[in-house]
Structure 1
């Protein structure tokens, strides 16, 4: 089932790309650059929806639904296997041991501080 949805998802994505590339933009005529490209209507001179706009909207809806279905299937199939988890815990313990054995100074050690004269004062407080 997942492979079927994935194939539909891929074909839908490719069809959306093709449909968008085939469509002509608003005001793409030669007269558009001189101000006579579209009338003063809400949807331009071409009117509302044409065939390509409707098919693109349908394909976008199908793409959304298949994306949602694939996400739900991936969530249901996501599990941490018993083989992986102990290996990750072993690697984590090795890293923690390396960090504890390293020469990183801790906060408890005496860290020499700079003399007060070496710290610059804010402007205007002198």
Structure 2
């Protein structure tokens, strides 16, 4: 369901971009009056603005509806959980009272008895 709505959403966004770029601005009629030749279009002089504006309105309405639908679908997922509520599965077991961080005698003597290694310059 979400994939279908996403495809319709992308198509609506593309059509809105295309239709807005194809439309003439408000000042295009003034340029056509002075002979620029831009007044002739596929739908005629007045039909172009009506068709394009209606198609743009429909595309914007579909884009708005799919945006709301995608927002609703993403917020009502059954596996939606909070990151804070997730429990750590790799928890460390607490140390016992007798296990202090004091090194034993055998580890102290083995560290002292090993010769130091030369570090190259």
What's the TM-score bracket when you normalise by the shorter of the two chains?
A: 0.5 to 0.7
> Equivalences for 1:74-113 in 2 at 5 Å?
74-77=74-77, 79-80=80-81, 85-87=86-88
Equivalent residue, structure 1, for 2:50: 50
Greater C-alpha radius of gyration: 2
Higher share in helix: 1
SS of residue in 2 equivalent to 1:50: helix
Q: Structure 1 residue 30: deviation in Å? A: 2.1
TM-score for both structures, normalised by structure 1: 0.51
The number of residue pairs the alignment matches comes to 76
In the alignment, structure 1 segments of 5+ residues that lack a partner are 34-45, 91-126
Equivalent residue, structure 1, for 2:60: 60
Please provide the CA RMSD for this pair: 3.1
For residues 86-111 of structure 1, the C-alpha deviation after alignment (integer angstroms, 9 at most, x for no partner) is 24xx8xxxxxxxxxxxxxxxxxxxxx
In the alignment, structure 2 segments of 5+ residues that lack a partner are 35-45, 92-121
TM-score for both structures, normalised by structure 2: 0.53
SS of residue in 2 equivalent to 1:68: helix
